Amino acid sequence: MPANKRDTWASRLGIIMAVAGSAIGLGNFLRFPAKAASNGGGAFMIPYLVALLFLGLPLMWVEWTLGRYGGGFEHGTAPGIFHSLRRKNRFIKYFGIIGIFGPLVIFVYYTFIESWTLAYGFFSISGKLTSLADQQGMQQFLSGFQGAESNNYFSSVFPAYVFFICTFAINMWVLYHGIKGGIERICRIAVPVLFVCAIILMTRVLLLGAPNPQKPSWSIANGFGFLWNPDFNALKSGKVWIEAAGQIFFTLSVGIGVILTYASYLSKGDDVTLSGLSATSLNETAEVILGGSIIIPAAFVFFGPDNIRSIAASGTFNLGFVTMPLITNQLPFPKLFGFIWFLLLFLAGVTSSISLGQPAVAFIEDEFDIDRKKAVVIFGSVTFVLCHFPVFMLKHGVVDELDFWGGTFFLVVFAAIEVILFAWVFGIDNAWDEMHRGADLRVPKVYKFIIKYVTPLFLLVIISIWMWQEWLSVIVMKSVSAADKPYVLGTRIVLISILALLAMAVKIAWRRRDLKGKTDAA
């Protein structure tokens, strides 16, 4: 057992806010409305709710339960948690490597994107964005800032690098101060402020009416109609169902390994069923009600029905950093509303990125008996070097590559592994009893069947469809330009190296445990 005493949450509210903060990210306010608008509007909510009921909720309860169970054995990450399920199995812990790999890879590029929101908050309040009146100018400003091109706005990536350093330092500061003094403290402040910002923006959008008297159909009511009027023909497309399932993974932070780590700091009798449902409810409120009521309806009002489809399909970056600034520039007090928008995104980003850093820090702490501060220094040193790849190679597809493997493919694979281990290796009866230990809410018994059969089958079908349709074109980099292939290939080599080093670290950690156990026994 580790010599260092493990940290704990100060209150139930603290962990609910932390898990909600982890789940509420840029995807709630940018990715969700874009996916809904592009995939049948209100009809998208049917596969979305199906995925929530059969994937999101089961995986959420699985991860909260597994995390608390593994924490009782002084393990805060997937290798140790999986090992605690079947201690005599020498290999089961290696499946948990993905639960460290995924968050680490996402952290490497997410922190850079998060830093853009900090920079744009500064650009908004200082008036730099209010001088940009059209989409071309705003797009050039973003491209110059990202370092994708040198133009009249930015001659190099250096300004973006400065804001990246500031954002990275903020993340390290929070992680350095631990679960109670860092993560819980910041999330208890950031999540409520985030909701206040979103409510202010939503209220302002609802009051827009039809600003252009010559085009009365460009109204906020029609804007909501564009987003939510159902196109049931979209339900015939398998792509829509896959997109809905992907959004549930993305928005709830399931399949990553973060919830496992957060829940490992609970006590054995702490509730996981109601707490998990509460965190999920906060996230869904932020996504469906608030996220669905800001950018797409407002864009309809200002850009009209002819342009709204191309805007909705323009991608997360363009929605957040091009379309929304153009909208706030047309409102009274544009500097203020622009700042509120980017403050909202920054708070959503930072509460997510600190959660992505915690699994690797916990692994170093728990499995190598290294104190918190040294663990954060080690983690920070490694990730700071790795972050330079997306910072300086964004235009060569490095971020897309990192996002696919760390934030999409391995996320689904890891979710399948953990639910199979939970229901079939640990045993569904043991799992059900563990889930309800100290529970304030009885999960409907139908979920016992869903967790054992439906959720794993759902996940295996998704993986099989991808393997059948996409794997060859991805492996051979069919959609990657010739100029970018060396960068993408280099990224893959780095990712394989990270996986190998994590496997080696797990092996070394357990060898140390075995030697220590023999020494103590002697």
DSSP 54-72: IIIHHHHHHHHHHHHHHHT
pLDDT on residue 340:
97
- The CATH number that applies at residue 290 is 1.20.1740
pLDDT on residue 100:
97
pLDDT on residue 27:
87
Q: How far apart are CA 34 and CA 77, in angstroms?
A: 33
257 confidence band (pLDDT: 50, 70, 90): very high
Alpha helices in 371-470 (DSSP H): 372-393, 398-404, 410-420, 428-435, 446-449, 455-469
Nearest to 294 by CA among 366, 210, 200: 200
Mean pLDDT of 283-304: 92
Contact 351, 22 (CB under 8 A): yes
Q: How far apart are CA 242 and CA 508, in angstroms?
A: 39
pLDDT on residue 39:
85
Q: How far apart are CA 388 and CA 384, in angstroms?
A: 7
Contact 127, 325 (CB under 8 A): no
- pTM of this prediction? 0.94
Residues 217-238 pLDDT 10s: 888 989 899 889 898 998 888 7
Contact 235, 47 (CB under 8 A): yes
Which helix (H) or strand (E) segment holds residue 75: the answer is none
Within a domain: 203: yes
Within a domain: 145: no
| Angle, CA 503 vertex, CA 502 and CA 504 arms, to 5° | 90
Contact 414, 102 (CB under 8 A): yes
Structure-token match 């940290």, residue found = 7
SS (H, E, C) 432-460: HHHHCCCCCCCCCCHHHHHHHHHHHHHHH
Number of domains within the chain: 1
Within a domain: 484: no
Q: How far apart are CA 124 and CA 336, in angstroms?
A: 8
**At residue 141, does pLDDT exceed 90?**
yes
- Exposure b/e, 145-166, CB count within 10 A at least 16 = b: bbbeeeeebbeebebbbebbee
Within a domain: 494: no
Within a domain: 505: no
Average predicted confidence (pLDDT) for the chain? 92
Contact 455, 427 (CB under 8 A): no
Residues 416-460 pLDDT 10s: 999 999 999 999 999 999 999 999 999 999 999 999 999 999 999
**At residue 1, does pLDDT exceed 50?**
no
| Contacts of 364 by beta carbon, 8 Å cutoff, 6+ apart | 370, 375, 378, 379
Nearest to 32 by CA among 291, 314, 245: 291
Residues 174-206 pLDDT 10s: 999 999 999 999 999 999 999 999 999 999 999
Residues 386-407 pLDDT 10s: 999 999 999 999 999 999 899 8
Contact 335, 135 (CB under 8 A): no
Contact 261, 22 (CB under 8 A): no
Mean pLDDT of 500-519: 88
Q: Would you state the structure tokens that stand for residue 217, as one six-digit string?
A: 């159909």
Q: How far is CA 282 from the centre of its chain?
A: 15
Contact 349, 117 (CB under 8 A): yes
Can you give the residue range of the structural domain that contains 260?
A: 12-114+169-475
Mean pLDDT of 45-54: 94
Q: How far apart are CA 26 and CA 106, in angstroms?
A: 13
Radius of gyration of the chain, Cα coordinates, nearest whole angstrom: 23
Q: How far apart are CA 129 and CA 512, in angstroms?
A: 55
3-class DSSP state of 115: helix
Structure-token match 């005493």, residue found = 5
Instruction: Please report, to the nearest 10 degrees, the dihedral formed by the alpha carbons of residues 182, 185, 191, 196 taken in order.
Output: -130
Q: How far apart are CA 283 and CA 286, in angstroms?
A: 5
Q: How far apart are CA 114 and CA 117, in angstroms?
A: 6
DSSP 283-333: HHIIIIIIGGGSHHHHHHHHHHHHHHHHHHTS-HHHIIIIIHHHHHTTSSS
Within a domain: 491: no
Backbone torsion region of residue 74, taken as left when φ is above 0, otherwise alpha when ψ lies between -120 and 50, otherwise beta: left
| Contacts of 354 by beta carbon, 8 Å cutoff, 6+ apart | 171, 174, 175, 182, 183, 186
Within a domain: 515: no
Within a domain: 496: no
Query: How many residues make up the chain in this entry?
Result: 522
